[in-house]
Amino acid sequence: MNKKAFIYVDGIKAPINGERNLLEVIRKANIDIPTFCYHSELSVYGACRMCMVDVEGQGLMASCSVAPQPDMKVKTNTAEIRELRKIAVELLLANHEKSCPTCKRSATCKLQDLGRKLGIDKVRFKPINKQQPLEDASQVLVRDPNKCILCGDCVRMCAEVQGIGAIDFAYRGHDVAVLPAFGKSLDKVECVFCGQCARVCPTGALTAKSHVQEVWKALDDKNKKVVVQIAPAVRVAIGEMFGKEPGTVSTGQIVSALKILGFDRVYDTCFAADLTVIEEGSEFIRRVTQDGALPQFTSCCPGWVKFVEQYYPEYLDNLSTCRSPQQMFGSLAKKILPDDLNVAPKDLVVVSIMPCTAKKFEAARPEFLRDEIPDVDYVLTTQELGQMIESSGINFVNLQPESLDLPLGFKTGAGVIFGNTGGVSEAVLRFLNEKLTGNTQDNFEFTEVRGTEGIREAQVTFDGKTYSLAVVHGLGNARKLIENIKNGSCRYDLIEVMSCPGGCIGGAGQPISFDSDTREKRTKALYEADKMLQLHKSQENPYIKKCYDTHLGEVGGAVAHHLLHTHYKSRKRIHDADLSLMASKEAQQLEIRVCVGTSCYLRGSQDLLHALLCDIHHSDLKDKVDVKATFCFEKCSQGPVVRIGDKLVTSATLEKVKEEIESQLRKRQ
């Protein structure tokens, strides 16, 4: 029998149960050692040194990067440790933006919290950093470099969990900074706007861009009718902002608060989620029976959709053409509510309450504009709604619950579980189970697609045929899965992808939480909310049936396709980022731009570029052409792509490029 191992923390015996480091063991012993750069879901970085402990016989060590050994004797609160932590925080505060009362992260700022806990009442050091400009060009995220403490949490989240690397460290020594690629703004690089960088940022260096003032303005306009939809994951999280336990379902209080705030109608995105199940499930059946592109990927998550557009445009045909529930709701609302509410279409304002920052980007996509009017006018995160409620003086906890408005407020349990990873798959399976077998089924749960693993696989059999599914959350995992599909090591029929860990319940717009159990509690609450409803399958929603009969016609038909479906296209990863490869001498040189983005690179653009430069160097063309490398012409499936003057050469070879160069130079002469 193996003897249980222990360490001694400030004289307290603490068991070792497979923890990665001393920090985790110590925290389980109910001693909360402070950290900036440590997150259980990220790699160990050890940069902030806030978690220093004194190990007997070894001296001061960073507890996050030291493995626990049996019988270690650890001190966490010596005079030396307290002074080192205090100095570390003071040095950070010396160069930190002094706008704490007005900072969005004031209530959840780790720097402010540690300053208070360590008893810092003055900063002994002078600032040496110069004020940097605020970056707010993106419609989704705001980056304030003056609040960055260089902990690297955002960098590791973007690279390790999301597999993107849109933000990283730049420069060295005193000049080191965290920046998007080429020093551009976040809306000009390959950021997918998932906002997970902002979620893990311990200060206010990265935050979601607020649309609260625009919504207040709409609510104050007497000529406007303002309606709002509530996403599934919002109802199990917003209570945390008012002291409630994570996972508390607060739908009724949300409705009551929104009506006090002045919204004319309060609806449920779960209604549109039921609609999505019908359309997406029917699309899957058509693909299976008519040799369509498989696997079919879900398209509910805008961060995931942008990820495919940027990195895997060859799989765009595999994305479901269904709009997300948010956009289905907006499209349907703009069609049917003006008559119901007796308002001109231009005076109907649709607001979304979402757990996700990428929904702000999605609502602004040109695909979802009709006559220059967006289907969804404004997107508020769960945090922003909480802010509006607080600023209005509403006592949220003591509100009497009210009912959602009909018809767009009625939903089944299938729509509710959309907020969890695996929820979209399970909801679609509940539809397919009856549609493919032709029989009504009493059992509605498909627990095989539930779980917390980053990549989960399942198989289901309907009417004698077996279908393979995969459920993925976190874009780094999505990249692994797609690469496995490309190399032929696996195949699937249906794949659900969500950008955020845990799905929408872990979205960056949710209340900030440093408790590792929070996502689990929110997830559990949505499944319990499903069980508490009388209807659990989207096809059972009577208002969905009525909507088709009255407004949409046939499932997947012309009207439904126009209102509920869309299309996507290859997207540039980096905007306006040409790399000069030759010294430009004449203003009238012929411009040659060679794409070196991933898709073109894999098709040989790097070799083509090298061969072209060598050829030009050994010819009389050096003074006649200007060659630069660029990143995308949005023709990824036709690479290598080269632009010569105003003409694009696809599937380019050295011979084709030389021929076009000579042709254009002859025309110039």
d(CA 405, CA 258): 12
Split at pLDDT 50, 70, 90, the class of 1 is very low
State the total domains in the chain: 4
* CATH number of the domain that residue 136 is part of: 3.30.70.20
- 53-62, 133-142, 438-447, 570-579: the lowest-pLDDT one: 570-579
Q: In terms of domains, do 104 and 217 share one?
A: no
In a domain, 546, yes or no: yes
d(CA 393, CA 522): 26
Contact between 191 and 311 (Cβ < 8 Å): no
In a domain, 250, yes or no: yes
In a domain, 574, yes or no: no
Q: In terms of domains, do 634 and 549 share one?
A: no
Q: Provide the mean pLDDT of the chain.
A: 92
In a domain, 570, yes or no: no
Q: Which tens digit of pLDDT belongs to each residue from 383-438?
A: 999 999 999 999 999 999 999 999 999 999 999 999 999 999 999 999 999 999 98
pLDDT (average), residues 318-334: 97
* CATH number of the domain that residue 47 is part of: 3.10.20.740
Question: Cβ contacts of residue 560 below 8 Å, gap of 6+?
Answer: 279, 548, 552, 553, 554
3-state SS, one letter per residue, for 472-485 = EECHHHHHHHHHHH
Q: Which tens digit of pLDDT belongs to each residue from 462-483?
A: 999 999 999 999 999 999 999 9
Split at pLDDT 50, 70, 90, the class of 666 is confident
Report which secondary-structure segment, H or E, holds 254.
helix 251-261
Contact between 103 and 91 (Cβ < 8 Å): no
Q: In terms of domains, do 126 and 172 share one?
A: yes
Q: In terms of domains, do 474 and 460 share one?
A: yes
- 179-188, 411-420, 445-454: the lowest-pLDDT one: 179-188
What are the φ and ψ backbone dihedral angles of 384, each rounded to 5 degrees? -65, -40
Residue 527 clears pLDDT 60, i.e. is over it: yes
Residue 584 clears pLDDT 60, i.e. is over it: no
Domain range for residue 63?
6-77
pLDDT (average), residues 369-392: 95
Question: Cβ contacts of residue 191 below 8 Å, gap of 6+?
Answer: 138, 141, 164, 166, 167, 180
CA-based nearest residue to 280, from 548, 552, 496: 496
Residue 577 clears pLDDT 70, i.e. is over it: no
* CATH number of the domain that residue 472 is part of: 3.40.50.1780
In a domain, 60, yes or no: yes
d(CA 360, CA 193): 9
Q: In terms of domains, do 478 and 545 share one?
A: yes
d(CA 63, CA 74): 10
In a domain, 83, yes or no: no
- What is the pLDDT at residue 598? 79
Q: In terms of domains, do 464 and 597 share one?
A: no
Would the pTM of this model clear 0.75, i.e. be above it? yes
Q: In terms of domains, do 463 and 383 share one?
A: yes
CA-based nearest residue to 281, from 335, 320, 311: 320
CA-based nearest residue to 335, from 514, 162, 559: 559
Q: In terms of domains, do 15 and 130 share one?
A: no
- Strands of 465-473's sheet in order across: 296-297, 494-498, 465-473, 455-462
Higher pLDDT, 514 or 450: 450
Contact between 14 and 26 (Cβ < 8 Å): yes
* CATH number of the domain that residue 609 is part of: 3.40.30.10
Q: In terms of domains, do 497 and 348 share one?
A: yes
Q: Which tens digit of pLDDT belongs to each residue from 247-302?
A: 999 999 999 999 999 999 999 999 999 999 999 999 999 999 999 999 999 999 99
* Residues forming the active site: 280, 283, 300, 320, 359, 362, 367, 504
Q: In terms of domains, do 394 and 509 share one?
A: yes
Q: In terms of domains, do 217 and 204 share one?
A: no
pLDDT (average), residues 144-150: 94
Question: Cβ contacts of residue 546 below 8 Å, gap of 6+?
Answer: 407
Report which secondary-structure segment, H or E, holds 246.
none
Q: In terms of domains, do 273 and 133 share one?
A: no
Q: Which tens digit of pLDDT belongs to each residue from 152-171?
A: 999 999 999 999 999 999 99
Q: Among 77, 98, 128, which residue terminates a domain?
A: 77
Q: Which tens digit of pLDDT belongs to each residue from 541-566?
A: 999 999 999 999 999 999 999 999 99
